[in-house]
Amino acid sequence: MDRFLVERSGPLRGTVEVGGAKNAALPIMAACLLTEEESLLDGVPRVTDVESMLNILRVLGVECFWNGDTLVLRPGGYTGWTAPYELVSLMRASVCVLGPLLAKQGRARVPLPGGCVIGLRPIDLHLKGLQALGAEIVMDHGDIVARAERLCGNTAHVAGPSGSSVLATANVMMVATLAEGVTIIEQAACEPEVVDLANFLIAMGAKIVGHGTSIMHVEGVSRLRGARYRVIADRIEAGTLLMATAMLGGDVLVRGAREDHLRAVVDKLIEACVTIEQEDGGLRVRSTRELKGVEVTTLPFPGFPTDLQAPMTALMSVSRGVSLMTEKIYPERFMHVPELKRMGAQISREGPSAIVKGVERLSGAPVNASDLRAAAALVLAGLVAENCTEVFGIEHLDRGYAHLEQKLVSLGARLTRERSS
């Protein structure tokens, strides 16, 4: 397994371009299963989760290849309806093939995604939503088996105790595009990635209104066509780069970062004494590295994203005073905390909250990343720590960040990847 060697660095200077959003690309790739026609996708990041989704699509019978930076997906008359366990177990987002397979093939078999280091991740809302549209669902040998003779529009709710589900909204929306009549999706997720999927489906000929709000209307059509589409820039990568500059100090233009996708994050960074301004198709961030502690609660969009909780906790570790991080989406998503503590961070846990007492300096240590956002947090912590930090588990980082280390190095950060032979 590869590891990073991370040295104390900074300040960061220059311009960096944000890549396409993994969490927008994955459901959009799955949506290609709704048509026989070719789709061309630009801006899809070259990360291992995208490779996993490509492998699933190939098993289902879709011809997939890269033409330069454009991803070409040719479903043709694919007949597959079973997603293999070996691939689904690599990535929970595989569940977003469930809706398109059901809508197009009338049946789908997808292994129930297993446990996950960020906590319990049930899929009851996906199943209830699909059942509302007429799917019959049974569990068989650990697989979800869904069938439908006829799918009909209905009202579907896609929220649970922690708020709306992003991928349940995606699955129900995709099925509704080909169901008879109108589907009303109540308490729909409003995340930019859901809006991006809706825009792609509209480009395919779907009739959708209300995306980006909590009530969506989808009027079913008899068929969808292929489309050419560019996925949005990755707001989580953008936020990670803003936080890196905030922690290391400097002056960086994060090109492609959108204030409307990152408002809660920008507000908190400004409160922490970072300067952020909109400029030239991006956000310019300036920091003296003198940061002030803040209180943050993760919430569904437009709230502070759970996917930036770990990097923000690393930032809090070196901010003056006491910070409070409360995780409302995945209350157990704190696997990075013991690793940050190994580097000298002063963090205590109380239920879904982390109380962070800022320290002057972190100190380098070997640390292990449990998931991709934890990996990003440990890299940021390593960049402000004394001595060298070895970050293990960076295969997790590679699942969702494309070229993060090259981007940070281009701004002046000191980290290298040691490849295992």
Binding-site ranges for ligand EPU (CB under 6 A): 23, 26, 92-93, 120-126, 160, 162, 165-168, 193, 306-307, 329-330, 372-373, 400
Query: Tokens representing 119?
Result: 């906590």
**Residue among 94 and 245 whose Cβ is closer to ligand EPU:** 94
Dist CA 92 CA 72 (whole Å):
23
**Residue among 124 and 295 whose Cβ is closer to ligand EPU:** 124
**Residue among 45 and 344 whose Cβ is closer to ligand EPU:** 45
Per the CB < 8 A criterion, the answer to whether 138 and 149 are in contact is no
Query: Tokens representing 200?
Result: 């792609």
- Residue 106 burial (C-beta neighbours within 10 Å; 0-12, 13-18, 19+): middle
**Residue among 9 and 183 whose Cβ is closer to ligand EPU:** 183
In the residue annotation, 116 being an active-site residue is answered as yes
Closest C-alpha to 381, from 342, 328, 327:
342
**Residue among 78 and 301 whose Cβ is closer to ligand EPU:** 301
Q: Which of 64, 96, 116, 273 is catalytic?
A: 116
Q: How far apart are the first and last CA of the chain?
A: 8
Rounded to 5 degrees, φ, ψ at 241 are -70, -35
Q: How far is the CB of 220 from ligand EPU (least distance, A)?
A: 23
Give every CB contact of residue 137 below 8 A, 6+ residues apart in sequence.
127, 130, 131, 144, 145, 146
Q: How far is the CB of 373 from ligand EPU (least distance, A)?
A: 5
Q: How far is the CB of 292 from ligand EPU (least distance, A)?
A: 27
Q: How far is the CB of 164 from ligand EPU (least distance, A)?
A: 7
Dist CA 67 CA 83 (whole Å):
25
**Residue among 187 and 319 whose Cβ is closer to ligand EPU:** 187
Per the CB < 8 A criterion, the answer to whether 206 and 224 are in contact is yes
DSSP state of 213: S
Dist CA 337 CA 313 (whole Å):
8
Q: How far is the CB of 234 from ligand EPU (least distance, A)?
A: 9
Q: How far is the CB of 275 from ligand EPU (least distance, A)?
A: 27
Peptide bond into 45 cis (omega under 30): no
Closest C-alpha to 241, from 274, 197, 192, 196:
274
Q: Provide the annotated active-site residues.
A: 116
